Amino acid sequence: MGLLVVGSIALDSVITPFGETADALGGAAVFFAMAGAVLHPVQVVGVVGSDFPEAHLKKLAARGVDLAGVERQQGESFRWKARYSYDLNSRETLETRLGVFAQFQPRIPDKFRDAKFVFLGNIDPELQLNVLDQVKQPKLVACDTMNYWIQGKKDLLLELLRHIDILMVNDSEARELSGDWNVYRAAHWILGRGPKMVVIKQGEHGALLVDPDTTFKVPAYPLQEVFDPTGAGDAFAGGFMAHVARTGDLTFPNLRRAMVYGSAMGSLAVEAFGVQRLEQITLQEVRGRVKEAKRRIAQLVSATRTPLARGHVGGFGGMVRVPEGYKKPVLVMSTDGVGSKVLVAAAAGVHDTVGEDLVNHSVNDILVHGAAPLAFLDYIAAGNLVPEIAEQIVSGVARGCRAHDMTLAGGETAQLADLYQPGHYDLAGSIVGVVEEDKALHGDRVAAGDQLIGYASTGLHTNGYTLARNIVFERMQLKIDDPFPETGQSVGQVLLAVHRSYALAVRPVLGNVHALAHVTGGGIAGNLVRVLPAAVEAVVDASSWPWPPIFRVLMRAGRVGRDEMRRVFNLGVGMIAVVARDDVEPVVRAAERAQVETWLIGEITPARAGSPATVRFEER
């Protein structure tokens, strides 16, 4: 069954930190065709200028691509030049010369009009509609678009949506088209305009396939090296559509498999400049990558098993031995969640970081008592549990467990359609640690004269998100991909910064520490007071450390009072150690070795006998 693509054929000049190319074979239709042709024959409709190298067209023909719909016209070919940033996540377009592509009018050859599978590249929606007038009863029509058409021809684009089956866009395009920063709500907004399904491409974070009832997420294939991300989205589309055309199967399970093929093709495309990698790949290689991409949660869990783990993955309970060498071991347990940070993760379509947040938060909670982590269990609840989202979450949990040499002993997933909206979920976890009974920290050693050492946080950590989201998304009207003021990062990057673990910074000097306070909900005062004995006061010098930009922005934009800021947020201090004056230097040096910034933020003073412990901020 025929697979037709209509789109641009270009000469690309790309500059990355790893090299550059000039007038290389490129364009949306080219990347689609080179990827798709590995799985199924592809027909191309496009236009090139009189200067377009014949050798480039021969590369396509060598892949079995049918070029009967490619016109050569007098004039200059479409040329595009861009420079990528060092991390390849952003690019600057240096030059766009449309040439003959500016007057492109797709003419579908008679032999292509019976194509059963049609993909419309991100050309003018008026031209996309024109193509649909020329083809005969295709089984599946998918199309791409871009911000330029969303901004300039939205009415025509909305008309197009009424005539297609799948819209493929990236997350920023989905948000701009719908006006909703949450990618799941954006997808359902699009579905309400006509398409049966939406594919949202998320680069290094994979891609979503959404229909009215189900969401499927395929993770990006993990790569050691990325040379040139140009055309990765088009290669994804080529792999997706070619798998569907090859099988002729439009059921949702097969479309899920098509997503995996698309992910594999996108990952292959970025491993070299332009289409160089796509020229070389074989079907066997693609299938090998697809098989690798299908690894699921069991492998992630197994990778966290330490020598202390017992039993097997999938049992009714997780088992772990107490390490040898303890005389009077005491188990320390804690349960917590990441709160409404999961809503930011859902909006960004990035779910692994909250899994790591959960582990680090829990490790810090038992570290306060001097305990070393032994085992962790997670709990995921959702209205409609998407296996691929669950896999991302667990991958973050597993990463956190591995970093602390801790067994992920098991977990639970629950589907609660009556409690959770589509695309929403909750995440919680329980940790078990161990400490020698006579070395456990309770705060009873704290005395007047002790010093307070503050350890830098990475941002909000996992608290204060209800207020922060209201300020950022409602009052400031920012979207998840917008720049966050004063940070040089996007809103999503700032709000999803991973909760820091202080294990490496603190464990080497636990013997020097009288008490620890993990700064979570309740802020510095609300948590520090929990580890103080009666008849002492902790005096915190409010000017002894700088507030990170996120807190300054939230206070100013939200018009939040100073006391409320101190109650809700950590303000840049994620952990506090209470130590004797003579032990300040070794404790600070240990933090430096772990690359965690610290400040001397106050001291313990005596209070009236019999009075409860208090915390007071001193303004200097």
For the chain, list the domains and their CATH numbers.
3-293 (3.40.1190.20), 295-440 (3.30.1330.10), 441-620 (3.90.650.10)
Q: Which residues pair with 216 in a beta bridge?
A: 209
Which amino acid is it at 8?
Answer: S
Please say whether the beta carbons of 8 and 78 come within 8 A. Answer: yes
Q: Where are the alpha helices (DSSP H) in 41-167?
A: 54-62, 125-134, 147-152, 154-161
Q: Where are the alpha helices (DSSP H) in 40-107?
A: 54-62
Quick one: pLDDT at residue 297?
Answer: 42
Q: Which residues pair with 388 in a beta bridge?
A: none
Q: Which residues, including other chains, have CB under 8 Å from residue 271's CB and lie 6 or more apart? A: 223, 225, 226, 227, 277
Quick one: pLDDT at residue 296?
Answer: 47
Residue that has been written with the tokens 């969303």 in this structure:
150
pLDDT tens digits, 122-159: 999 999 999 999 999 999 999 999 888 999 999 999 99
First to last CA, the chain: 76
Predicted model pTM: 0.57
Instruction: For residue 312, give the DSSP letter.
Output: -
Please say whether the beta carbons of 537 and 615 come within 8 A. Answer: yes
Quick one: pLDDT at residue 557?
Answer: 96
- Can you read off the two tokens belonging to residue 597? 């910034």
- Can you read off the two tokens belonging to residue 107? 């003419």
Query: What is the strand order of the sheet 19-26 is part of?
Result: 19-26, 10-16, 79-84, 91-97
Residues of the chain with pLDDT under 50: 296-298
* CA gap 572, 548 in Å, rounded: 6
Residue that has been written with the tokens 């491993």 in this structure:
271
* CA gap 589, 579 in Å, rounded: 13
Q: Where are the alpha helices (DSSP H) in 294-437?
A: 297-302, 341-348, 352-367, 387-403
* CA gap 18, 487 in Å, rounded: 26
What is the chain's Cα-based Rg?
28
Return phi, psi of residue 254, to 5°: -75, -35
* CA gap 522, 406 in Å, rounded: 28
- Can you read off the two tokens belonging to residue 442? 């309770």
* CA gap 530, 541 in Å, rounded: 19
Quick one: pLDDT at residue 386?
Answer: 67
Residue that has been written with the tokens 């500016």 in this structure:
102
Quick one: pLDDT at residue 306?
Answer: 60
* CA gap 574, 584 in Å, rounded: 18
Query: Hey, how many other C-beta atoms are within 10 angstroms of the C-beta on 503?
Result: 19
